[in-house]
Structure 1
């Protein structure tokens, strides 16, 4: 039998790529993906039916909304009314399942308590797609459920069709939920080749999900053979639909050699001293991407072994872009500034192209950074990626400056590496090497906790009201999780460096940042101590995401054992699981990625002021045409949005009164000329534009159906507390 051809109908869910990957890896098929509102077919039934003749079966995916809303289900609803001769097998998942049930007599109602990111054991009929399967645990992401006419079915008639739905045969139930009662988990049409599952087989925590899909394909193949349907030959142009990404530029590289010298640091020498020494030799202070240390050792050697001082000046190349007007501005190393309108994908393509043109060789292989672009991507630029209308703001949303000179500190070996990829720059390297060798520790200049004024901040009543609005959206099925945030505005006239010194003392973290970017009418200052890696990739293409969801504040009586108990509760694990599945979806969507896996799932990590629940998702970008696509397609960070990402961000725009988040919820990091990259999520961070004289501190949390408004308010306060203790020190740390 030739390879089968499947059509996947994507209902704008943030787990769709996981389903497609599950199918492609487990079945002898090729998958083509289209959206449920594909303009070629949504108003043209004949065209859609003709299109379907190319396929053997359809998978109708999950998504936000209600199956009774035509806009939410789109083309999925047309599958159930095909003429008999054009009927083909369908597997509906979540929304697709509910649409199937609704089409054949079921009602769809709200659950008493939504089930988002919950793992439950289901009871199944041990036949059809569940034949030869034991009891299984599955992941549920739903606020609505299908009712076949029985509110409390007895064990004896679980598998019988009802008078209200004679054509639907139940295949599986969740009988474990006292608050909701029996919940239908799977059905099959008694005559037609239509199956549906309420749960998500693609979730990392759905045991036997691949076996369910394989069993469905066996049933599908049997139906096709018995109905004398021949599997059409695979066309050469078939395959998963790829979405717009950065173009691949082929400009010839200008390979450059890294000149570097290693200096063993003296006892007591630290990053404060080093930064001041570098500033004395340059036109301005370097950008510092710092790994926090405790007692001279990195807080987390896995993510925070190195600190990077990226040296730039008034003629350094930069790339800057704003969502407002789609304005791209660049400055080359000869000082020429150009600007033009450009779509977002061209910006990422340009960054990748310029980095590739300066491809470096012979750098120290142990160091993650030899030189390259350093900067940020705002939350609003991320919204542009998923086609969500961003709040209007004339500020730059992407800003990267090219650093030819740098100093990288290895905190494990207490060694500093002076580096340059600038041609003929040996003298600078040797001069700074000599100065570092003579460096002694400083007293740590800078006032401690200089007083600032809070200009505005969230109120408890309003924040708790928004939490309840979030939960109403969750109950109606519009989202699984919403990451609600707000901002505190502070006036503080202390210097950037003195503020950062206080931040790093009170809250050292693996991704500290002290950065000032300035040029052509804009200047931004950034101070932060983020614990969360967003995305990194090594020079050989191994990429890693490290989302954090679940936070417990450290107090005198909070032990690690207590923190683990709190963080392993159902609510916290559900939050983390949703983000893990969302990131797997983002990574599976990168063309050429291989071996997407989760080596760490919901592990408690300890930081200076909090305990947090962390997961690690990895993949291999070695065959990818564009590594930066892993960054561009994953923004904005899922840990700052919720899921499904697009609908959740649209709801959050309304909830947050269309105020731009700016750098907060974006990413900060670098693109290395050696081929690697590392970006952190912009949290526990303050930023200020020079013409505003206002520092902005964002904070928030993931709202789920299990959230309590007061607890969410307290979590938001805990996340901003350490920064407030520096910027407005009437707040005690």
Structure 2
């Protein structure tokens, strides 16, 4: 159908897009997977994705004449709820002159059926992320299609009333005693409408995907000329109304690249220092001074490789932003500027900022030469996905980043240390730091750099832990399962915060050094992880032992985006071999279903930015970590040439924008799930289940999910010297005999005389789990507590140090 001549009424020749498809989007998390399937099934097709509430029916329906076919995608909710389907319900009732071939998926099938007299019922046993055999007779949509095993995401199903003569069933699934025979495909008897209940676009659907879409296209292109339908030539006015074809780049993300900008050169020294540990280098750099900012991205366990230490200066640029603000706070030293966003959103602003900071000439194998390091909150992702009112009273910025110009990177595989600077004329610092590291490595015992003071025990001062209320958490799981049954979500990651009031490490208090650093070292020892981190960017301090990489993207020109969702964990223990772990994880229907739903969601997020070149490189493989076995999938994507051209290869922030919050921490469909969770959880998550990591001046980046982590709020504390001065004054006022800890373990009067708040920290840590139809509420509570305890053990240890 793509052979119409150019429309010559315009100054420029405008060719109608060949095989133009209109894709109605119902706020699901699989639409862009379906768009990619259309591109594979229909050569040269162009897909325009339109939200089901973007245009009223009287505006949208006349545009049907410009499209060869319509795809009505899946979505949360019910076809009987007008706000869930929007204009979709009107597609089935257009006048004959607008009649257009339509292919419906899931909600699309249900809407077609309901609008023609069928009933919607709940399944007895919901099918979310489940693979079923689809039974068909090999005709119509299934012509030439063999055995079909397809993924189902539905809790509602269609029942056709007896005597229905305008809806014809095409396929079924036999659920046996669970649900009986369930309709999987149907068509309208005399209108060009076909649909399937299952998800042809899922990564685990076999045979019933591309082949069925091709059959639809064949049926559609046969129907149109037989009924005198012709597609009108494309015009700029149509594109202005319905939007550009997919993939497209947001206008905000295409800020002009200044060709006059001079890229900075990276100065690097490479050292072989196999005995040097990241914690030693951090202490050399002054991490123990709690008053200063500090960033460490620590690959403390396999499969992590590169550890990044920021060597911050007094003028290192700090970027903070709170959701709802129209400006960014940019601080350098004592100077703070409020930079208006103007027409940009925070993502486009960050893209523009990093374009002005480009550097070249670093060691290619080192992923970080310099750039932004810090965290992005869960609330930032929520606001991008479903705009929320400005946050009031939140102590933690939603964007909290520092621009690192000097850094030390450790390659744990090759035992190589890289000293780097992107400051012009900074060779002296590079040489000086190189000498300091060599001296540290050559020390007789570099792990002991100071005399440890006498130990101060703290009887009766164990951490005060406020766990979530058990009955309340279980009731939330029960409520979540009801949302799953109603068709509003397939999976909900229900979480809750735990509060910890912990005594600072007595040894750190006695020295006037950082207690949070001592806590991090304990956490690192207790629960080493590939995405550990110590991020102290006042007023927030974040300690992480995260096992989950969220998103990494490599430098241009051959940019590759990779996401590695984890769904399924078994803690190592005697007898838990790889074979046992694989049986418990890869052999579990529940665990694989959870992982599959997130894989399909992530594919959708990535497709939405880069185009159709997205592939699942690894599906539900069991990987070994330091303390656990994990069920991990790997999804990769490369940007289409048109996307590269418009973004100048600065894709990282756009992929982050499209992918946050992490699907593994929300559920699917993401938008509806986030809205449900906001009500269920009754509060903000803040930093928890956001992401931490870096954006490199060479164009790459790497971000991890903030789990197995804790964070605190603290205005900038006094410097170490000021704290020591206070301790000395207090000691003098109490007398010299009270200046040292007692031998019997009682705390010294000096420590007792300090203000109570100076001895304690208030920490927050989050935990939860993915709730599916197969979840047992009691078991989910136990799993959440197990995750909390993986961090709490560090607090129990720290009081004795």
Asked if Structure 1 and Structure 2 have the same fold, meaning a TM-score greater than 0.5 normalized by the shorter chain, the answer is: yes
Per mean C-alpha deviation after superposition, the further-off stretch among 700-709 and 716-725 is 716-725
Q: In the TM superposition, what is the alpha-carbon distance from 1:176 to its structure 2 partner? A: 3.7
1:485 paired residue among 489, 495, 508: 495
Cα distance in 2 for residues equivalent to 1:356 and 1:652? 36
Aligned to 1:354: 353
1:98 paired residue among 102, 107, 110: 110
2:525 paired residue among 495, 505, 517: 505
Aligned to 1:407: 408
Aligned to 2:29: 14
Q: Aligned pair in 2 of structure 1 residues 587, 254: CA closer, same or farther (>3 Å)?
A: same
Q: What SS does the aligned partner of 1:348 have?
A: helix
Aligned to 1:417: 418
Cα distance in 1 for residues equivalent to 2:262 and 2:353? 10
2:771 paired residue among 703, 710, 714: 703
Cα distance in 2 for residues equivalent to 1:675 and 1:182? 53
**Does the 8 Å CA contact 2:491/2:772 hold for their aligned counterparts?**
yes
2:676 paired residue among 648, 651, 657: 651
1:277 paired residue among 279, 284, 287: 284
Structure 2 residues not aligned, in runs of 5+ = 3-17, 506-514, 716-756
Cα distance in 2 for residues equivalent to 1:71 and 1:109? 19
Q: In the TM superposition, what is the alpha-carbon distance from 1:18 to its structure 2 partner? A: 0.9
2:663 paired residue among 625, 631, 638: 638
Structure 1 residues not aligned, in runs of 5+ = 150-161, 294-298
Q: Aligned pair in 2 of structure 1 residues 348, 712: CA closer, same or farther (>3 Å)?
A: same
2:569 paired residue among 543, 547, 551: 551
Residue pairs, 1:264-663, within 5 angstroms:
264-267=272-275, 269-279=276-286, 284=292, 286-293=294-301, 299-300=302-303, 304-332=304-332, 336-340=335-339, 342=341, 346-389=345-388, 392-394=392-394, 395-439=396-440, 440=443, 441-443=446-448, 452-492=462-502, 493-494=504-505, 495-518=515-538, 523-540=539-556, 541-568=559-586, 569-590=588-609, 592-593=610-611, 595-621=613-639, 623=641, 624=644, 625=647, 626-627=650-651, 628-657=653-682, 659-663=683-687
Q: In the TM superposition, what is the alpha-carbon distance from 1:508 to its structure 2 partner? A: 0.7
1:59 paired residue among 71, 84, 88: 71
**Does the 8 Å CA contact 1:724/1:731 hold for their aligned counterparts?**
no
Q: In the TM superposition, what is the alpha-carbon distance from 1:6 to its structure 2 partner? A: 1.4
Q: In the TM superposition, what is the alpha-carbon distance from 1:608 to its structure 2 partner? A: 2.3
Q: What SS does the aligned partner of 1:314 have?
A: coil
1:37 paired residue among 18, 39, 53: 53
Cα distance in 2 for residues equivalent to 1:182 and 1:242? 44
Cα distance in 1 for residues equivalent to 2:393 and 2:585? 37
Cα deviation per residue 1:136-179 (whole Å; 9 max; x = unaligned)?
11110001000113xxxxxxxxxxxx41x221111110014431
Q: Aligned pair in 2 of structure 1 residues 448, 369: CA closer, same or farther (>3 Å)?
A: farther
Aligned to 1:716: 784
Cα distance in 2 for residues equivalent to 1:412 and 1:91? 51
Aligned to 1:109: 121
TM-score, normalised to structure 1, is 0.91
Cα deviation per residue 1:477-534 (whole Å; 9 max; x = unaligned)?
111110100010011224111011011101111101011012xxxx111111101111
Aligned to 1:154: none
Q: Aligned pair in 2 of structure 1 residues 63, 245: CA closer, same or farther (>3 Å)?
A: farther
Aligned to 2:751: none
Q: Aligned pair in 2 of structure 1 residues 675, 320: CA closer, same or farther (>3 Å)?
A: same
Cα distance in 1 for residues equivalent to 2:252 and 2:582? 40
Cα distance in 2 for residues equivalent to 1:448 and 1:597? 55
Q: In the TM superposition, what is the alpha-carbon distance from 1:242 to its structure 2 partner? A: 5.7
Q: In the TM superposition, what is the alpha-carbon distance from 1:448 to its structure 2 partner? A: 12
2:99 paired residue among 63, 73, 87: 87
Q: In the TM superposition, what is the alpha-carbon distance from 1:230 to its structure 2 partner? A: 2.0
Cα distance in 2 for residues equivalent to 1:448 and 1:469? 47
2:238 is aligned with 1:239: no
Cα distance in 2 for residues equivalent to 1:195 and 1:449? 73
Aligned to 1:152: none
Q: Aligned pair in 2 of structure 1 residues 284, 335: CA closer, same or farther (>3 Å)?
A: closer
Q: In the TM superposition, what is the alpha-carbon distance from 1:559 to its structure 2 partner? A: 2.4
Residue-pair matches, total: 699
Q: Aligned pair in 2 of structure 1 residues 653, 98: CA closer, same or farther (>3 Å)?
A: same
**Does the 8 Å CA contact 1:306/1:411 hold for their aligned counterparts?**
yes
Per mean C-alpha deviation after superposition, the further-off stretch among 21-30 and 6-15 is 21-30
Q: In the TM superposition, what is the alpha-carbon distance from 1:313 to its structure 2 partner? A: 2.9
Aligned to 1:158: none
2:257 is aligned with 1:250: yes
Cα deviation per residue 1:285-325 (whole Å; 9 max; x = unaligned)?
641100013xxxxx11xxx1110001223321122110144
Q: In the TM superposition, what is the alpha-carbon distance from 1:366 to its structure 2 partner? A: 1.2
Cα distance in 1 for residues equivalent to 2:309 and 2:91? 58
**Does the 8 Å CA contact 2:533/2:543 hold for their aligned counterparts?**
yes
Cα distance in 2 for residues equivalent to 1:204 and 1:97? 20
Q: Aligned pair in 2 of structure 1 residues 179, 419: CA closer, same or farther (>3 Å)?
A: same
TM-score, normalised to structure 2, is 0.84
Query: How large is the RMSD of aligned CA atoms in angstroms?
Result: 2.4
Cα distance in 2 for residues equivalent to 1:49 and 1:535? 39
Q: What SS does the aligned partner of 1:171 have?
A: strand
Cα distance in 1 for residues equivalent to 2:193 and 2:704? 44
Cα distance in 2 for residues equivalent to 1:513 and 1:406? 15
**Does the 8 Å CA contact 1:481/1:642 hold for their aligned counterparts?**
yes
Cα distance in 2 for residues equivalent to 1:444 and 1:685? 28
Q: Aligned pair in 2 of structure 1 residues 680, 344: CA closer, same or farther (>3 Å)?
A: farther
